[in-house]
Amino acid sequence: MRTGKLHCRADVCRFVVLLFTVTLFLASAQAGNIKTIASTIPANGDVNPYGVAVVPTTAGSLTRGNILVSNFNNSANLQGTGTTIVQISPSGTVSLFAQINANSLPGPCPGGIGLTTALVALKTGWVVVGSLPTTDGTSATAQAGCLLVLDSKGNVVETFYGSLINGPWDMTAADRGNKVALFVTNVLNGTLAGGGNVVNQGTVLRLNLTIAKGSMPNLQSMTIVGSGFSERTDPAALVIGPTGVGLGRNDDQADEDEGGRTLYVADSLNNRIAAISNALARNSSSGTGTTVSKGGSLNDPLGLTVAPNGNIVTVNGNDGFAVETTPSGHQIAKVLLDSTGTPPGAGALFGLAVVSGQGLYFVDDVSNTLNLFR
């Protein structure tokens, strides 16, 4: 286990204060601590950690407060072939939550298994993860994939698939227990046919689920709430397109049935954060939404989460920075989370999650670790 420290500039201190507004973090902010929690590599050797989800409920093999991490690559480092989800406690204890066999799925998943950043853990104990599979680690063999629903013991019990689910890349959830809305970015609509050229067909899909006690999640409807996002294949990243999504917290009091919450989207190729209004209620696409912030410290924003204070935290694909942006579009702070490589931190960051009272959990694809910034 290694621990790195960053000197605290004014923007770093402000980043921590604005994220957590908890006195406990003010002292640690003076050093800008980054702590390696654990390796994300399971026994089968899967690498390239992508998705990060905080477990909200103790059930089955899941323990509340633990972190789930999905792996995108297999032991040969081929993208779109990872099959595992590991569970990591805040103290660093690691266990295998799921190892998914493409040949024993309960339903279709076109192309098989390659677990993406699309990972959520629900209050009812169910876990949902996206698959964008390849057979050789290249976009030439990429297929549509699916969303996989796992029980609390890591068993796949159903799949969500179809024409609207095409390369599920990242995901968030509005979770009310018996009612859940999943928001998923899709990056394969027309992308392969584009042959490396940019196509504007990326989507954000809402899936409405009902979950009765003792029953599996039941898919009620699928609605495209965002469309026209730029996407393309990439020899290094496999595919680039709309990635992280997060629901605004500043309007949490709005009745979710009225759809008052805003969905934020990391529009990676256009180097911006987009906003889709009335995300829970709308029954038509908002296109690419409105621009919250563009350029500045954003540098290929990938992973996205919304902090307890309502601000948007993204991590860059082209450098190792996390950037904090207000809902009004002001980029108020950035902090360097990975400085390896050239340019520093490029390609290292993807999934992230903020936990009140603890800090910012993030995966590092270079070191294959789960880390905590506090």
Give the burial class of 343: count Cβ atoms within 10 A of its Cβ; 0-12 exposed, 13-18 middle, 19 or more buried: exposed
* Mean pLDDT score, 354-362: 94
* Residue range 192-218: mean pLDDT, rounded: 98
How much of the chain, in percent, has pLDDT values that exceed 70?
89
Query: How far apart (Å, rounded) are the C-alpha atoms in residues 125 and 99?
Result: 17
pLDDT at 325 (0 to 100) = 97
Q: What is the model's pLDDT at position 259?
A: 63
For the segment 313-334, the average pLDDT, to the nearest whole number, is 97
pLDDT digits (tens, 9 = 90+) for 78-88: 999 999 999 99
pLDDT tens-place string over residues 294-315: 999 999 999 999 999 999 999 9
For β-strands 312-316 and 321-325, DSSP reports them as: antiparallel
E strands, 76-164, where?
84-88, 94-99, 115-121, 127-131, 146-150, 156-160
**Cα–Cα distance for residue pair 145/122, rounded to 1 Å:** 21
Pick the range with the lowest mean pLDDT from 2-11, 268-277, 354-363: 2-11
Instruction: Examine the pLDDT at 19 and tell me if it is beyond 70.
Output: no
Q: Looking at the whole model, is its pTM more than 0.85?
A: yes
Report pLDDT for 5.
38
By C-alpha distance, which of 209, 196, 52, 215 is closest to 119? Answer: 52
Q: What is the reported pLDDT for 32? A: 64
- Are the CB atoms for 349 and 364 separated by under 8 Å? yes
Asked if 271 and 299 count as a contact pair (C-beta separation under 8 A), the reply is: yes
Q: Is the pLDDT of residue 358 over 90?
A: yes
pLDDT average, residue stretch 315-337: 96
Q: How far is CA 162 from CA 33, 71, 143, in A?
A: 44, 23, 12
Q: What was the pLDDT predicted at 313?
A: 97
Average pLDDT for 180-195 = 98
62: nearest Cα among 72, 54, 70: 54
Q: What is the residue-averaged pLDDT of the chain? A: 91
Lowest-pLDDT range of 26-35, 90-99, 155-164, 254-263: 26-35
pLDDT confidence bin for 6, thresholds 50/70/90: very low
pLDDT of amino acid 260: 76
Position 22 scores a pLDDT of 30
Q: Other C-beta atoms within 10 Å of 200: how many?
A: 17
Answer whether residue 4 shows pLDDT above 90.
no
pLDDT of residue 100: 99
CATH of 3-369, one of 2.60.120.40, 2.10.109.10, 2.120.10.30, 3.40.50.1240: 2.120.10.30
